[in-house]
Amino acid sequence: MTYYSSASASVRTMPSEWPPLKLYLRETGRQSFSVADLVYLQAVANYSWLNWVDGRRMLMPRTLKYYSPKLPTELFIRLHRNCVVNKRYVDRLERTETGGLVHLSTGEVLPVSRRRWGTVRRQLAHNMPHLN
């Protein structure tokens, strides 16, 4: 079964009050990045890939456990033990035998674990009212 987002552009807008995510980059030093532009984070061992809306990917030497408290819980949801996604970029959910899939507006598809499927579906119900 597939669920589509019916969220309008106003639902997907981000309050400007969220503090930026401060990252240290070897080439340029400490920089601030808008949380609104962060599409998803994906863990690989003790590193995290940060994937941005403009297509940039940054490999950072920190775990998801480090980044999770720095992200607004109203905006980010954990899909799997190794993936956190920004709800603003979720276009649709798809149920599968092994859990589910989240289709992003960037064209990427991320897996949802079987155990987290119900939680993910409930948390995205605000953006996708037909899930209720």
Summarised one tens digit per residue, pLDDT across range 24-72 is 777 777 777 888 899 999 999 999 999 999 999 999 999 999 989 889 8
Looking at residue 64, what DSSP letter applies? H
Q: What is the pLDDT of residue 130?
A: 55
Summarised one tens digit per residue, pLDDT across range 71-93 is 988 899 999 999 999 999 999 99
Q: What is the pLDDT of residue 9?
A: 38
Range of the domain at 6: 2-131
Encode 98-112 in three state secondary structure: CEEEEEECCCCEEEE
Query: What is the domain count for the chain?
Result: 1
| CATH number reported for the structural domain that contains residue 81 in this entry | 2.40.50.1020
Summarised one tens digit per residue, pLDDT across range 113-130 is 999 999 999 998 876 655
**Distance between CA 51 and CA 108 in Å, rounded?**
11
